[in-house]
Amino acid sequence: MRIPAHSVCTAIRDDIVSGVLPRGSRLTEEALARRYGVSRVPVREALRTLQAEGFVTTRRHAGACVAEPTAQEAADLLEMRTLLEPLGAARAAVRRTEAHLKVLRGLVRLGQERAGRAEGEDLSALTGWFHETLAQASGSPGLITLLTQLKHKIAWMYVVERSAGPAEAWAEHGAIVDAVTRRDADRARTLTARHAERAVAAHRMRIPQQAVNVAGGRN
């Protein structure tokens, strides 16, 4: 059975984001095909996609390599997040469904409960789920794709320090959901912009790992 290229793409992207495939390391079709137990065809397609997303670059005489983003490129991503997330929230206020609202309200309730118990790992997962659901509620496939790519690239380039005030953050989430519920697009945009700008302060750039040649096979 042929493995879909998108599944291979997801696997390679996850290994890049987690640092298993370090920045600057070579990515040969043969080695990656062995690594993931697939043929070279889906690997070739996946590398094209990842190059378009900015995770992979092509070097003369070296071929495909994991990209090595600059500090300015990393900073640009956070700025894009502060622009796109508010747009997504404004659209969600207009296009959300009752199903979206049910999930968002449930996440806010859980987040507020667990913030009081300082359950950091659970809060991180819930925060990601909240923002993914808010993006889905925008009803804009292009915007959802951009926000998803931003999420992966920011996770690759930054460490997020634990928030000093998780209860405050979840109160902000609750206010955003209230605005979305009332279909108040302007307020949803404003609240999400403020929330995103405050969240940026918790991001610290990762120290680039030393590149390791992966042409020889699985690590």
pLDDT of residue 215: 47
pLDDT of residue 160: 82
Amino acid at 21: L
CA distance 57 to 34: 21
Q: Which residue has the tokens 């496939």?
A: 141
* Average pLDDT of the segment spanning 76-86: 95
Most distant pair of Cα atoms in the chain: their distance:
57
Residue 194: inside a domain, yes or no? yes
Q: In terms of pLDDT, which residue wins out, 88 or 126?
A: 88
pLDDT of residue 22: 94
pLDDT higher than threshold 90 for residue 62: no
Please state, as a whole number, how many other Cβ atoms lie within 10 Å of the Cβ of residue 51: 15
Note whether 21 and 98 are same-domain residues: no
* Average pLDDT of the segment spanning 155-165: 79
CATH number of the domain that 168 lies in?
Answer: 1.20.120.530
Note whether 142 and 195 are same-domain residues: yes
pLDDT of residue 208: 60
pLDDT higher than threshold 80 for residue 8: yes
| Whether this model's pTM surpasses 0.85 | no
Containing structural domain, residue 83 = 71-205
CA distance 137 to 143: 11
Please give the mean pLDDT across all residues of the chain.
89
Residue 210: inside a domain, yes or no? no
> Do residues 179 and 191 lie in contact, with contact meaning Cβ atoms separated by under 8 Å?
yes
Note whether 60 and 159 are same-domain residues: no
